[in-house]
Amino acid sequence: MVFADLFFIYFFLPLCMLLYFIAHKTEARNIVLLVFSLVFYAWGEPVWVLMLVAYSFLNYMTGLAIGKTKSKKKKKRALVIALIIDVGVLAVFKYTGFFVENINSLLGISIPVPNIKLPIGISFYTFQTLSYSIDCYWGKVKTQKNFYKFLLYVSMFPQLIAGPIVRYSTIAEEIDNRRTTMKDVSEGFSRIILGIGKKVIIANSLSTIVTGCFGDAANGYAGVANVSALGAFFGAAMVALWYYFDFSGYSDMAIGMGRVFGFHFDENFIYPYVCDSITEFWRRWHISLSTWFRDYVYIPLGGNRKGYARQCVNIMIVWALTGFWHGASWNFMLWGVYFGILLLIEKRFLLKPLQKAPKAISHIYALFLVIIGWGIFNFDDMGALGKFFKALVCANGNPFSSIVTRKLFLSNIFLIIAAILLSLPVIPKFKKWAAKKANTYYFMRGAGIIMNVVILALSSLILVNNTNNPFLYFRF
């Protein structure tokens, strides 16, 4: 089941909310959420929901083992078991086929490549359980002694299948003690509708522009062989906007639903394309993932404390893992290494000059490199990725510009302008400006309600004829 679906929007979510608010006690509300979360996951993954429950139980038991002993040796043993379970399960499902294919290619042998279906959301909920076990070991959180509450944390449907990666410490108190105010409900619904609009109206439309530039994965990105240099960069820029509206739209819906149910998830995107450096970009993009790697990989490796050479190694390890987390494909590894190298260069040489440079220069620098990065990310076929790089510098006989690129741009000019404006903090600044004006409160409230109705109605009309509408990050 997906969020951007008429059945979810008009039946599943309203029914869940109705039963949730009928149940007045927190314990009863937790049970409602747990049942709907398991049904939500089982809707598309009837087999894997059993694995999700078993997987959660194993992590619950290792957490109990960590919490009940004062022996550091026994704590460490329980943590190692949790790490083996979590990393092992993720590796088997996500990377077995990739490793077998590369061994075959390297050694010239023919080991059968297993066709293992990837359970939806496994990358996200694995990182949640990992953070729980590590935080228990570090003493940052108390062990959850009630299994159904732990299962609720792991399986809660707003953030189960595509994040944000919610740490147990963020919602531990709210599992037992929370309340939902009218402000929570109002702002939560607005956030949900904003997310639907980002996904259905903008992201899906941007995806057609990308397909027009490069083709799609099903046809081997056939269009990239003939795309112009300007078209290759334009296509990569559209990928950047597409991914932003698709994934931030999902995060908006997840955060909004959490708010309605009384949970306060951390922000996952803070207008990343206003960045003036790659360092700043990664403080604004997919924050739950970048901070996860910072806290559970980079700092334990030594962070900045063991000299510049070790710091460089730590950064490259983190970014190689960040790339590999996104998928079992060499382009993701290359993408991670690409950003790791850029961050190293900034940390060593460029960050201070960028801070002193005119904002326009540093902003163009950052956006250019980010857009190239999304071009790398888009092509999981290495042959197509090579053609993309050649197209950027006119090295495959392609022209600098083409009629196809101009037509794509001009026919979608209003969509592109709207996407660019909405990727910037225009609306928050307008709200801040309006709040300073007298007699604007009721006007802004009315305008907000009208906009929500329009966005939801337009999204619903689009979804009537669009039943296959998965979020991009489902495959990660």
Q: Which residues are catalytic?
A: 326
- Residues 10-16: contacts with CB under 8 Å, at least 24 apart: 10/460, 12/36, 12/40, 13/257
Sign of torsion, CA 273 275 276 282? negative
In whole angstroms, what is the distance from residue 468 CA to residue 474 CA?
Answer: 13
Q: Rg of the Cα trace of the chain?
A: 23
